[in-house]
């Protein structure tokens, strides 16, 4: 796999969920590099992009919207297990992704980039006895979700591999860690001090996720791949391995020691593959975000339960 020419034009790109919290950053990242069509239930904030009002559950609508496009970025989904009931979440995330993949294939789209999640590992919302098998967790780590949201993301990835193997289009899966938007900035330091933080102190700014999606369309000579996307550091108040030891009560095997030697606060989820293959280079810096929060609005040292 290799990157395309610098500043290559990406042609016509459809973005499902392009009006959402992450979507607007992805659309901004594509500005000047692609002719963008946003597919969403509400118009995008940008005025200079095409807009198709549709949901990912409208298969025929997606086929019409994708016609003539070179690539699709699929963001539209229920983003966590707290936003909607299990049946709605699973249907939206799984049936919606199937609709996107099949409609893209039918429309002759050649590249689809799909938003999965680090939750596909099953490490976030499962019982406390499900610990990482090794650190940092990379794309080869086993997936073991047992609740509906994480399961929907694993099934999404299985479908993506299926469509890539079919050979009519290439598919890239992006697994962001927890994306921090501005309303969460007051919580960042408190989350880092919490040894039971369910995101394992991993975070990423939306601009970096947008960067990863843009770079996923620039890859050449690829059929299928998966990438964890995170900041270069974590929110952890102390070095990551120390925080993990406190959390779990023992040391876990370290598969890639260089990660923590180079950055003791490196995220639990390994971004080495994204750096090596995508050319991803995160700019996320939670301290800069936290510094923008007035003192009176900052959370205490212990965050309330999510």
CATH code (residue 236): 3.40.50.720
- The mean pLDDT of 21-31, rounded to a whole number, is 99
66-92 per-position pLDDT tens digit? 999 999 999 999 999 999 999 999 999
Cα dihedral 80/227/196/250 (nearest 10):
150
The answer to whether position 96 is within a domain reads yes
**Within-domain flag for 254:** yes
Per-residue pLDDT reduced to its tens digit, 246-267 = 999 999 999 999 999 999 999 9
Is residue 299 assigned to a domain?
no
- Note whether residue 97 is domain-resident: yes
Please tell me the distance from the alpha carbon of residue 141 to that of residue 134, in angstroms, as a whole number: 8
- For residues 235 and 188, the answer to whether their CB atoms sit within 8 Å is yes
Beta-strand relationship, 170-176 and 219-220: unpaired
pTM, full prediction: 0.94
In a domain, 133, yes or no: yes
Phi-psi region of 167 (alpha: psi -120 to 50; beta: other; left: phi over 0): left
Number of structural domains in the chain: 1
Q: Is 304 left (phi over 0), alpha (psi -120 to 50) or beta?
A: beta
If pLDDT is split at 50, 70 and 90, which confidence band does 306 have?
Answer: very low
| Residue-number span of the structural domain to which 270 is assigned | 6-293
The phi, psi pair for 245, rounded to 5°, reads -65, -45
């Amino acid at each position: 796999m290799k990157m395309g020419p610098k500043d290559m034009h990406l042609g016509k790109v459809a973005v499902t969920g392009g009006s959402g919290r992450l979507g607007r950053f992805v659309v901004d990242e594509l500005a000047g590099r692609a002719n963008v069509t946003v597919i969403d239930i509400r118009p995008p904030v940008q005025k200079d992009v095409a807009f198709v009002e549709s949901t990912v559950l409208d298969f025929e609508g997606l086929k019409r919207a994708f016609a003539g496009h070179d690539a699709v970025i699929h963001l539209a989904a229920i983003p966590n297990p707290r936003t909607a009931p299990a049946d709605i979440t699973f249907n939206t995330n799984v049936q919606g992704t199937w609709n996107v993949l099949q409609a893209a294939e039918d429309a002759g789209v050649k590249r689809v980039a799909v938003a999965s999640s680090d939750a596909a590992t099953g490490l976030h919302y499962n019982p406390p006895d499900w610990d990482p098998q090794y650190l940092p967790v990379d794309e080869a780590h086993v997936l073991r979700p047992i609740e509906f949201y994480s399961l929907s993301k694993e099934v999404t990835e299985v479908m993506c591999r299926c469509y890539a193997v079919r050979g009519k289009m290439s598919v890239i899966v992006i697994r962001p860690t927890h994306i921090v938007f501005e309303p969460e900035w007051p919580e960042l330091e408190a989350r880092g001090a919490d040894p039971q933080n369910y995101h394992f102190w991993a975070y990423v700014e939306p601009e970096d996720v947008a960067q990863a999606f843009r770079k996923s369309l620039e890859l050449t000579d690829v059929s299928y791949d998966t990438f964890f996307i995170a900041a270069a550091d974590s929110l952890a108040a102390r070095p990551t391995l120390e925080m993990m030891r406190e959390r779990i009560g023992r040391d876990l095997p370290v598969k890639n020691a260089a990660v923590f030697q180079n950055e003791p606060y490196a995220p639990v989820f390994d971004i080495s593959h994204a750096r090596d293959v995508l050319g991803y280079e995160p700019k996320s810096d939670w301290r800069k975000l936290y510094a923008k929060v007035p003192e009176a609005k900052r959370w205490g040292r212990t965050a309330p339960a999510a």
